[in-house]
């Protein structure tokens, strides 16, 4: 932005502050308005629909747009939600004080910068979702990553590989990412999809980040946090802390702990798997309807809702913590009364994590403190519901729920029952809390009565019954004594004015009273502000304890939510073990079963997978028969078991899974120049390069994005690879329309054919939704197209073409009216050619090509002689046939 050569003092101040905060929209407080100028004014006028005007600036007309200061909570969220960083510049000096000092403008400074990833505003935060900001730093092939939710006090770091980084970012779903400026215009498409802020390079240099961290935590090193060796991540965490300090302009005392996020502790879920399984966002609308979290979230607190999302996105890989959760859920499933009472008590608890965060950084009010007090009063009631349980997890939660009696009583004694929203309004503290405050309130409420009491006191002490107290603008309050009693006036009365029949006096005491009466209300509010700050600082000293209580309550809330869902929906406890078997009896899709039309039952299915006999299930059947549902429900049930939740089934044995991979549906990434098929192959490559025998792979239609021969060849080869390569021999469900893949069962011992049953009646298909042993040989595509409402002429013509194809003849002289001509290419000869090849090993050259031996014939014969029909797969035979036809022409 170019500065004006001639500027008014106000505009000069504005542009100086603006230059110190590049990349932000500067909301500049002028009296009762927040104003923006120049480019910012044009921008917010467009974004917020605010009238754009102009302001004189040394002869030039500068664009101006603004809104009343009390509308900040309305307009600020709109700007931040659209990805803008907003700097709030306040007047830090009283205008009257500045005027008395002869200053032309008041002092101003930026007091807070709100960004998509850093905010404490309730209007910008979703109660049951974390609002993460992430900082990244690369050193060779290692990515240092640090993330924080400033609204809850969470602060973590980690070092991961590039594939792990993508997965972790998908789990965090950050609102903002910080990256070094040197990477501008060099980021991958995946990172460019996020709201990115570029930070000055010097922040990432040397040990600046490490020193910033040790200074903040007041330690000599980071050994106590178990992150001392994560040097690349130190830089990322340091840059993140730097950014948070620069934007908040206040203490970040609620960031009390830095922990190492161990990605190896959790099941790996890549981005496509999280999308395809619709864990927290639906593929169609992007909302939560139809997602796993929408079914499992019966939490009663915001803290529990946020933790539940973390658990869903980070399934466990260790038996012990899984069993601890399942044991706790089991206790509450069986005890309905305790669960219901517990849910009721938890509903009375506020968002302790975000309450103590706002209190710690000073972005708070009396209502926050009151809600904190009332929430802490619920803790003993919650503990009574848990009791001294024999369950290990519930017992741990019980111990972590501290009784903060002194803190509760301090807040309760200090604040009125229903404090106002603004500290500036006063009326926060209860009568009797502070003697001076009580006196000021009494004076402000009953000024005349207070003066009357002073008059009576002075009259009695001086023995002058007619003594009066008056007021004027010259003297303020004064004492008037008639000449009759002039000789009784005490020595400490100071004469100010002589009248015909009386004298007027003042006293130091009266002047003090005058000051109290005239400024009582303002002084009362000022004193309340000071007392509130003292109370806030006192409460913030308990941040560690309150954060611990909040996390314990969140865990308990998730456990009761799992128990409530299990009870309502007849879920069973899964047997999670270290074996290589997934065995599900009458499993159900947790989301689909809840969204079926009334009266339509969900058809459960059995699934058995292992690494010794049933490694790959080849599932065929028509569209809409339910293949995709079976795949997804298997993935969801495994995931549910490994987050410690009961599952929708009659019985389930789940051998621990380290990764779940999905390749589902058709999608493209045209912006990155990736076609549907390329996206499909990228996902397939990711699976084959990262799967292990402990993984679960869900493949839905591999190879459909290209020609039939190419697609079938890829699907066939991929299946062989998963079967034959021990290092990637994962348990796999493969849904396909390629019926030719049923041939694989006869060739490979761990590939088994299954199909989803259907019946055909009067040309219509009836879906039975049942998975049974054996392969299908019909896709019923035309029947499904008919159900979709395609015109009859299209359906009838498709049936004719299908009949011709199945009899190995294709009409090429269609007259447009559905008539079948006589010109057709017969394929029987080609089939007989392959049969002859298989029986004789070569073809008599005279039979097919006459007596002339041309180069093509010689090449053809050489190819046939080189082939081995006894070992030839159907795919290889088809490819050979295709080559034969090309040479024959």
- Residue among 639, 651, 623 nearest 591 (CA): 639
One domain for residues 159 and 236:
yes
Whether residues 397 and 546 fall in one domain: yes
Tens of pLDDT along 683-742?
Answer: 888 899 999 999 999 999 887 777 777 888 888 999 999 999 999 999 999 998 888 899
What phi and psi values does residue 180 have, to the nearest 5 degrees?
-60, 140
Please state, in angstroms and rounded to a whole number, the distance separating the CA atoms of residues 886 and 889. Answer: 6
Examine the domain organization and report whether 522 and 587 are in the same domain.
no
| pLDDT, tens only, 139-167 | 988 999 999 999 999 999 999 987 788 88
Task: Average the pLDDT over 84-108 and give the result.
Answer: 86
Q: Is the pLDDT of residue 335 over 90?
A: yes
CB neighbour list of residue 603: distance below 8 Å, 6 or more residues apart: 626, 768, 769, 770
For residue 491, tell me if it sits in a domain. yes
Q: Is 624 annotated as a binding residue?
A: yes
Is 148 in contact with 105 (CB distance < 8 Å)?
no
Residue 104: what pLDDT?
82
- At 721, which helix (H) or strand (E)? helix 708-724
Higher pLDDT among residues 288 and 139, named by residue: 139
Is the pLDDT at 853 greater than 80, yes or no? no
Model confidence at 358, pLDDT cuts 50, 70, 90, reads very high
Among 249, 265, 281, the domain-final residue is 265
The band of 809, judged by pLDDT with boundaries at 50, 70 and 90, is: very low
Domain boundaries, position 439? 435-535
Does one domain contain both 641 and 771? Answer: yes
Q: At what angle do helices 319-334 and 392-400 cross, to 10 degrees?
A: 90
Residue 347, domain member (yes or no): yes
Let me know if residue 281 belongs to a domain: no
CATH of the domain at 630: 3.40.50.300
Name the region of 89 (left: φ>0; alpha: ψ -120 to 50; beta: rest).
Answer: beta
- Give yes or no: residues 584 and 728 share one domain: yes
Residue 416 falls inside a structural domain: no
pLDDT value at position 295? 97
Is 622 known as a binding-site position? yes
To the nearest 10°, report the CA torsion of 854, 856, 860, 861. 20
**Are the C-beta atoms of 153 and 254 separated by less than 8 Å?**
yes
Give the domain CATH number at 50: 3.40.1170.10
Residues 106 and 223 in one domain: no
User: Looking at residue 346, what is its pLDDT?
Assistant: 97
Q: Is 380 marked as binding a ligand?
A: no
Sole residue written with tokens 């992007």: 286
For residues 217 and 355, state if they share a domain.
Answer: no
Query: What is the Cα–Cα distance from 116 to 83, expressed in whole angstroms?
Result: 6
> H/E/C letters for each residue in 394-432?
HHHHHHHCCCCHHHHHHHHHHECCCCCCCHHHCCCECCC
Read off the pLDDT of residues 427-469 as tens digits, 9 standing for 90 and up.
Answer: 999 999 999 999 888 887 877 787 888 899 889 989 999 999 9
Would you place residue 669 in the very low, low, confident or very high pLDDT band (cuts 50, 70, 90)?
very low
Q: Answer yes or no: is 31 a known binding residue.
A: no
Q: What is the pLDDT of residues 596-622, one digit of tens each?
A: 888 888 999 999 999 999 999 999 887
838 and 879 belong to one structural domain: yes
Total of domains in the chain:
7
CATH of the domain at 183: 3.30.420.110
Q: pLDDT band for 764, please (50, 70, 90 cuts).
A: low
- pLDDT band at residue 512 under the 50/70/90 scheme: confident
Q: What is the percentage of the chain residues whose pLDDT exceeds 70?
A: 87
Q: What is the mean pLDDT of the chain?
A: 86
pLDDT at res. 829: 39
Residue 125 lies in a domain: no
pLDDT > 70? residue 670: no
Please indicate, yes or no, if residue 656 is contained in any of the structural domains.
yes
Question: What pLDDT was estimated at residue 870?
Answer: 62
pLDDT-derived band at 820, boundaries 50, 70, 90: very low
In this structure, are 771 and 800 located in the same domain? no
Rounded to 10 deg, the angle between the 708-724 and 874-888 helix axes is 150
| Residue 244 is labelled as binding a ligand | no
Which of 265, 288, 317 is where one domain is finished?
Answer: 265
pLDDT tens digits for range 168-222: 898 899 999 999 999 988 888 788 889 999 999 999 999 999 999 999 999 999 9
Q: Per mean pLDDT, which of 190-199, 256-265, 329-338 is the most reliable? A: 329-338
The answer on 352 and 303 residing in a single domain is yes
Q: State if pTM tops 0.85.
A: no
Is the per-residue pLDDT at 137 higher than 90?
Answer: yes
pLDDT at 154: 95
Task: Assess if residue 279 is contained within a domain.
Answer: no
Q: Environment class of residue 519 by beta-carbon count within 10 Å: exposed (0-12), middle (13-18) or buried (19+)?
A: middle
Rounded Cα–Cα distance for residues 466 and 463 (Å): 9
Specify the pairing of strand 476-482 against strand 751-761. Answer: unpaired
Measured CA to CA, the distance from residue 547 to residue 721 in angstroms comes to 50
Whole-angstrom distance, CA of residue 101 vs CA of residue 103:
6
Boundary of a domain, candidates 220, 242, 265 = 265
pLDDT for 874 equals 65
303 in Cβ contact with 553 (< 8 Å):
yes
In angstroms, rounded to a whole number, what is the distance separating the alpha carbons of residues 29 and 36? 9
| Residues written for the chain | 889
Q: What token pair was written down for 268?
A: 């790996």
In a domain, 643, yes or no: yes
250 is an annotated ligand-binding site residue: no
Distance CA 576, CA 318 (A): 10
- Judgement on whether residues 564 and 593 belong to the same structural domain of the protein: no
Sign of CA dihedral 794, 799, 800, 806: positive
Same domain, 631 and 726: yes
Q: Is 657 in contact with 322 (CB distance < 8 Å)?
A: no
CATH code, 321 = 1.10.1420.10
Q: Answer yes or no: is pLDDT of 674 > 70.
A: no
């Amino acid at each position: 932005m170019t500065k004006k050569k001639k500027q008014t003092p106000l505009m000069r101040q504005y542009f100086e502050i603006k230059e110190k905060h590049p990349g932000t929209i500067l909301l500049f407080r002028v009296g009762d308005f927040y104003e923006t100028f120049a480019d910012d004014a044009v921008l917010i006028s467009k974004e917020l629909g605010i009238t754009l005007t102009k302001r004189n600036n040394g002869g030039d007309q500068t664009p101006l747009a603004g809104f009343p200061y009390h509308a900040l909570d309305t307009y600020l969220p709109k700007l931040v939600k659209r990805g803008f960083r907003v700097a709030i510049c306040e007047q830090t000096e009283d205008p009257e004080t500045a005027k008395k000092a002869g200053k032309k403008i008041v002092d101003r400074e930026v007091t807070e910068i709100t960004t998509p990833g850093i905010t404490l505003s309730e209007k910008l935060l979703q109660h049951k979702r974390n609002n993460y900001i992430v900082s990244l730093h690369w050193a060779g092939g290692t990515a240092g990553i640090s993330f924080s939710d400033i609204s809850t006090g969470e602060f973590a770091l980690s070092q991961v590989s590039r594939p792990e980084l993508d997965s972790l970012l998908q789990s965090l779903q950050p609102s903002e990412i910080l990256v070094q400026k040197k990477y501008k215009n060099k980021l991958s498409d995946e990172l460019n999809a996020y709201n990115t802020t570029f930070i000055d390079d010097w922040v990432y240099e040397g040990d600046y980040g490490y020193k910033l961290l040790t200074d903040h935590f007041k330690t000599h090193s980071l050994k106590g946090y178990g992150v001392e060796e994560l040097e690349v991540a130190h830089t990322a965490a340091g840059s993140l802390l730097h950014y948070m300090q620069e934007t908040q302009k206040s203490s970040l005392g609620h960031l009390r702990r830095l922990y190492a996020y161990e990605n190896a502790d959790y099941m790996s879920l890549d981005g496509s798997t999280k999308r395809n399984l619709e864990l927290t966002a639906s593929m169609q609308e992007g909302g939560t309807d139809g997602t796993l979290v929408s079914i499992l979230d019966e939490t009663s607190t915001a803290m529990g809702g946020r933790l539940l999302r973390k658990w869903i996105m980070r399934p466990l890989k260790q038996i012990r913590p899984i069993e601890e959760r399942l044991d706790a859920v089991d206790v509450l499933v069986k005890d309905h009364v305790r669960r219901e009472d517990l849910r009721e008590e938890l509903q009375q608890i506020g968002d302790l994590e975000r309450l103590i965060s706002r209190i710690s950084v000073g972005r708070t009010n009396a209502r926050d403190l009151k809600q904190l007090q009332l929430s802490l009063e619920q803790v003993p009631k919650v503990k009574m519901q848990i009791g001294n349980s024999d369950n290990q997890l519930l017992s741990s939660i019980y111990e972590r729920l501290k009784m903060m009696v002194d803190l509760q009583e301090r807040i309760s004694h200090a604040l009125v029952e229903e404090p106002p929203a603004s500290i500036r309004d006063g009326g926060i503290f209860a009568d009797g809390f502070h003697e001076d405050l009580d006196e000021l309130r009494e004076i402000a409420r009953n000024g005349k009565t207070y003066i009357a009491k002073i008059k009576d006191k002075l009259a009695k002490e001086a023995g002058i019954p007619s003594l009066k107290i008056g007021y004027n603008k010259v003297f303020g309050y004064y004492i008037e004594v008639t000449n009759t009693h002039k000789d009784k006036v005490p020595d400490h009365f100071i004469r100010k004015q002589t009248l015909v029949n009386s004298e007027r006096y003042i006293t130091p005491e009266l002047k003090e009273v005058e000051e109290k009466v005239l400024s009582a209300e303002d002084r009362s509010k000022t004193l309340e502000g000071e007392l509130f700050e003292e109370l806030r600082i006192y409460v913030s000293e308990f941040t560690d304890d309150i954060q611990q209580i909040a996390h314990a309550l969140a865990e308990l809330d998730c456990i009761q939510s799992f128990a409530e869902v299990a009870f309502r929906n007849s879920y069973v406890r899964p047997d999670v073990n270290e074996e290589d078997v997934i065995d599900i009896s009458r499993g159900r899709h947790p989301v689909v079963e809840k969204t079926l039309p009334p009266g339509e039952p969900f058809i459960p299915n059995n699934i058995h997978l292992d690494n010794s006999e049933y490694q790959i299930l080849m599932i065929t059947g028509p569209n809409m028969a339910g293949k995709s549902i079976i795949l997804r429900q298997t993935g969801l049930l495994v995931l549910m078991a490994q987050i410690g939740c009961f599952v929708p089934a009659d019985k389930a044995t789940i051998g621990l899974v380290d990764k779940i991979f999905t390749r589902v549906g058709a999608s493209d990434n045209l912006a990155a120049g990736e076609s549907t098929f390329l996206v499909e192959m990228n996902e397939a490559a990711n699976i084959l390069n990262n799967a292990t025998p402990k993984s679960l792979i869900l493949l839905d239609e591999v190879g459909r994005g290209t020609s039939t021969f190419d697609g079938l060849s890829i699907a066939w080869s991929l299946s062989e690879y998963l079967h034959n390569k021990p290092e990637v021999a994962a348990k796999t469900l493969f849904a396909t329309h390629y019926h030719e893949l049923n041939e694989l069962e006869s060739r490979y011992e761990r590939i088994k054919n299954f199909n989803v049953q259907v019946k055909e009646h009067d040309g219509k298909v009836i879906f039975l939704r049942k998975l049974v042993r054996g392969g299908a040989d019909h896709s019923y595509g035309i029947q499904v197209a008919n159900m979709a409402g395609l015109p009859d002429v299209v359906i009838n013509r498709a049936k004719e073409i299908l009949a011709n194809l199945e009899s190995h003849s294709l009409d090429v002289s269609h007259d447009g009216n559905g008539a079948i001509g006589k010109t057709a290419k017969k394929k029987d000869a080609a089939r007989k050619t392959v049969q002859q090849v298989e029986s004789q090993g070569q073809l008599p050259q005279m039979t097919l090509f006459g007596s002339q031996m041309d180069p093509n014939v010689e090449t053809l014969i050489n190819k046939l002689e080189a082939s081995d029909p006894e070992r030839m797969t159907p795919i290889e035979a088809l490819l050979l046939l295709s080559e034969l036809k090309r040479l024959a022409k």
